């Protein structure tokens, strides 16, 4: 069965520092991969997605992610974090199996805190 693991529950970085959030997935075929961000009390917003092609994908708000098939990873990065990036981040993998077409499987999230 497909699964997504985000090993870090909570990360704190200083404003201006670089950021990497880890995501590992388990999937039998080529996955569809997503990163979403959630501010407190809000819904989720899509940051970026990977379907095929270039393994380094650019997203909104200066984020990027790299798909590494050999490591089953899709880590999210940002060169310089801003205080407004404090939020919870979710990695998700697309699952196409029988009747579950189109459903995403989410990791448990990584909460990012930014210190001045």
Partner 1 sequence: DGGITQSPKYLFRKEGQNVTLSCEQNLNHDAMYWYRQDPGQGLRLIYYSQIVNDFQKGDIAEGYSVSREKKESFPLTVTSAQKNPTAFYLCASSLGGQAPNSPLHFGNGTRLTVT
Based on the shown chain and the rule CB under 8 A, indicate whether residue 59 belongs to the binding site for partner 1. Answer: no
Shortest Å, Cβ 26 to partner 1: 15
**Looking at beta carbons only, is 17 or 46 nearer to partner 1?**
46
Shortest Å, Cβ 44 to partner 1: 5
User: Taking CB under 8 A as the rule, which mask of x and - marks residues 68-87 in contact with partner 1?
Assistant: --------------------
Based on the shown chain and the rule CB under 8 A, indicate whether residue 45 belongs to the binding site for partner 1. Answer: yes
User: Rounded CA gap, 81 and 77, in Å?
Assistant: 10
Which residue, among 42, 49, 32, 33, has the nearest Cα to 86 in the 3D structure?
42
Residues in a beta bridge with 53: none
Based on the shown chain and the rule CB under 8 A, indicate whether residue 61 belongs to the binding site for partner 1. Answer: no
Tokens of 31: 């996955």
Shortest Å, Cβ 114 to partner 1: 20
Shortest Å, Cβ 91 to partner 1: 10
């Amino acid at each position: 069965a497909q699964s997504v693991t985000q090993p870090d529950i909570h990360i704190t970085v200083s404003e201006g520092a670089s950021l990497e959030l880890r995501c590992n997935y388990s999937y039998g075929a080529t996955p569809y991969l997503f990163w979403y961000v959630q501010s407190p009390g809000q819904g989720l917003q899509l940051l970026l997605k990977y379907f095929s092609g270039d393994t380094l994908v650019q997203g909104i708000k200066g984020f990027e992610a790299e798909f590494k098939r050999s490591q089953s990873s899709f880590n999210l990065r940002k060169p310089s974090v801003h205080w407004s990036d404090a939020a919870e981040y979710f990695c998700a993998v697309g699952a196409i199996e029988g009747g579950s077409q189109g459903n995403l499987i989410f990791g448990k999230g990584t909460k990012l805190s930014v210190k001045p």
